[in-house]
């Protein structure tokens, strides 16, 4: 299956992005799908056009985190949206058949306008976010698009606009499907929604000291006031971290018994979690360190990926221009 997905370069990725999205991408890649993963830097401009000082740096950082997390440039095409100008051409063409009212009715549009009310984003570009996203997807004939639930409406828009195009101009685009990750959402270390602005996230590019300082104070089941008070792991965020970071079955059994019978304390439980987290993250840290010391390798990966992406995008555009009877 042809797979495509991307993220905006809005800052460092956290473990929620890793477990909820990137791990799934890696799995799709290793299952033998034909994968395209990109950095949606033009999309970042739709809300962040005023603060572009770190944009190119963040784009490279995101690619570094993709490859360090297991996206393999030998298997997947890794590229940068703004390098493939054909996305903009398709965006323009799709905009011709996109009713304004349809964009205004995208539920996340009004929501974001409200949430980001401190920014002036009543712009043409921000309203057109889903059109640009549709271009990203349709230009690669993507069949499956792994995204978070928050992107459901964007995918729905993409399907609709592709169908509309096909019905006016004849069959041109494949109709893509969203692929949702089956992993339950992990909460932040304080139990609230994971969010950079709450300071409750653990970045992928982190270290054991930092992780310790976030994990050890994590709230636990409030029933466990004293070491001898039994608790319920299912009422404890630490437990869900154990599940997410794949603490071994034997250790999970030990923790579950120990918690419900008050034979282990929360400190011990958290130390086991630190171990599981180290197991998952240390190989990623090694790669991050490698690429920090060899930035030119990231540049090469981007250049190679851009070239492959361009070829694919250009093939689709020839089809599109023909469908539209453009000279
Ligand atoms: N809108 C996506 C997000 O914020 C990023 C994105 C842009 C994307 N274009 C895409 C995702 C195409 C999948 C396919 O997460
Ligand atoms: Fe949570 Fe572990 Fe403490 Fe039980 S022992 S309350 S699962 S931290």
pLDDT of 217-242, one tens digit each? 999 999 999 999 999 999 999 999 99
Check pLDDT > 90 for residue 3.
yes
Residues 119 and 164 in one domain: yes
Check pLDDT > 90 for residue 119.
no
Q: How confident is the model at residue 318 (pLDDT cuts 50, 70, 90)?
A: very high
Q: How far apart are CA 58 and CA 122, in angstroms?
A: 25
Residues 175 and 253 in one domain: no
Q: Which of the ligands is closest to the CA of residue 267?
A: 2
Check pLDDT > 90 for residue 182.
no
Q: What is the pTM of this model?
A: 0.94
Check pLDDT > 90 for residue 20.
yes
Residue 227 domain-assigned? yes
34-80 per-position pLDDT tens digit: 999 999 999 999 999 988 999 999 999 999 999 999 999 999 999 99
What is the 234 CA–ligand 2 centroid distance (Å)? 9
Residue 138 domain-assigned? yes
The torsion angle over the Cα atoms of residues 113, 114, 118 and 122, rounded to 10 degrees, is 20
Q: What is the pLDDT of residue 113?
A: 87
Residue 176 domain-assigned? yes
Residues 278 and 303 in one domain: no
240-298 per-position pLDDT tens digit: 999 999 999 999 999 999 999 999 999 999 999 999 999 999 999 999 999 999 999 99
DSSP E strands: which ranges in the chain?
Answer: 2-7, 34-39, 77-80, 144-147, 177-180
Higher pLDDT, residue 59 or 148: 59
What is the 228 CA–ligand 2 centroid distance (Å)? 12
Q: CATH number, domain at 220?
A: 1.10.240.10
Give me the domain span that covers residue 270.
206-287
Residues 162 and 304 in one domain: yes
Q: What is the pLDDT of residue 50?
A: 86
Give SS3 for 210: helix
Residue 194 domain-assigned? no
Residues 280 and 300 in one domain: no
Residues 112 and 256 in one domain: no
Q: How confident is the model at residue 196 (pLDDT cuts 50, 70, 90)?
A: confident
Q: What is the pLDDT of residue 289?
A: 98
Residue 193 domain-assigned? no
What is the number of the ligand 1 atom nearest to the C-alpha of 142? 14
Residues 123 and 259 in one domain: no
Q: What is the pLDDT of residue 184?
A: 84
Check pLDDT > 90 for residue 186.
yes
Indicate the average pLDDT of the chain.
96
Q: Provide φ and ψ at 206, rounded to 5°.
A: -135, -165
Averaged pLDDT, 295-312: 98
Check pLDDT > 90 for residue 191.
yes
What is the 253 CA–ligand 1 centroid distance (Å)? 39
Residues 127 and 269 in one domain: no
What is the 269 CA–ligand 2 centroid distance (Å)? 6
Query: To test ligand 1's pocket by mutation, which of 3, 6, 144 has the most ligand atoms within 8 angstroms of CB?
Result: 6
Q: Which of the ligands is closest to the CA of residue 106?
A: 1
Number of domains the chain contains: 2
Residue 257 domain-assigned? yes
Residues 283 and 299 in one domain: no
Residues 309 and 214 in one domain: no
Q: Please, are residues 166 and 159 in contact by the beta-carbon 8 Å criterion?
A: no
Burial 106-118 (b: 16+ CB within 10 A, else e): beebeebeeeeee
Query: To test ligand 1's pocket by mutation, which of 147, 150, 157, 174 has the most ligand atoms within 8 angstroms of CB?
Result: 147
Residue 201 domain-assigned? no
Q: What is the pLDDT of residue 153?
A: 95
Residues 165 and 263 in one domain: no
Residue 234: how many other CB atoms lie within 10 Å: 11
Residue 192 domain-assigned? no
Q: What is the pLDDT of residue 242?
A: 98
Q: Please, are residues 35 and 29 in contact by the beta-carbon 8 Å criterion?
A: yes
Q: CATH number, domain at 71?
A: 3.40.50.620
- Residue written as tokens 């033998």? 32
Residues 111 and 211 in one domain: no
- Residue written as tokens 């978070």? 148
What is the 273 CA–ligand 1 centroid distance (Å)? 32
Q: What is the pLDDT of residue 130?
A: 97
Q: How far apart are CA 18 and CA 3, in angstroms?
A: 18
**Could you tell me if the CB of 269 is within 6 A of ligand 2?**
yes
């Amino acid at each position: 299956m042809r797979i495509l997905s991307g993220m905006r370069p809005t800052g460092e990725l956290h473990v929620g992005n890793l477990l909820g999205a990137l791990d799934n991408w890696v799995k799709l890649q290793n299952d033998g799908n034909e994968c395209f993963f990109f950095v949606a830097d033009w999309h970042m401009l739709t809300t962040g056009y005023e603060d572009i000082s770190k944009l190119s740096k963040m784009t490279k950082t995101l690619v570094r985190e993709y490859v360090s997390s297991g996206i393999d440039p030998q298997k997947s095409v890794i590229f940068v949206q703004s390098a493939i100008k054909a996305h903009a051409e398709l965006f323009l063409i799709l905009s011709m058949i996109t009713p304004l009212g349809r964009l205004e009715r995208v539920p996340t549009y009004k929501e974001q306008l409200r949430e980001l009310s401190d920014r002036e984003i009543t712009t043409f570009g921000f309203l057109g976010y889903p059109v640009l996203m549709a271009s990203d997807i349709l230009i690669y004939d993507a069949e499956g698009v792994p995204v978070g639930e928050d992107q459901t409406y964007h995918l729905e828009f993409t399907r609709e606009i592709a169908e509309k195009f096909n019905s006016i101009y004849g069959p041109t685009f494949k109709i893509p499907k969203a692929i949702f990750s089956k992993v339950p959402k992990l909460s932040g270390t304080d139990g609230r929604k994971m969010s950079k602005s709450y300071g409750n996230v653990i970045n992928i590019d982190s270290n054991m000291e930092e992780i310790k300082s976030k994990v050890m104070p994590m709230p636990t089941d409030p029933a466990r006031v004293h070491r001898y008070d039994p608790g319920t792991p299912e009422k404890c965020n630490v437990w869900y971290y154990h599940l997410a970071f794949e603490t071994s079955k034997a250790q999970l059994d030990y923790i579950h018994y120990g918690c419900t019978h008050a034979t282990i304390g929360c400190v011990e439980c958290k130390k086991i979690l630190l171990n599981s987290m180290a197991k998952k993250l240390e190989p990623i840290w090694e790669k991050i360190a490698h690429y920090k010391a060899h930035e030119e390798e990231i540049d090469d990966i981007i250049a190679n990926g851009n070239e492959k992406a361009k070829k694919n995008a250009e093939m689709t555009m020839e089809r599109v221009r023909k469908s539209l009877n453009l000279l």
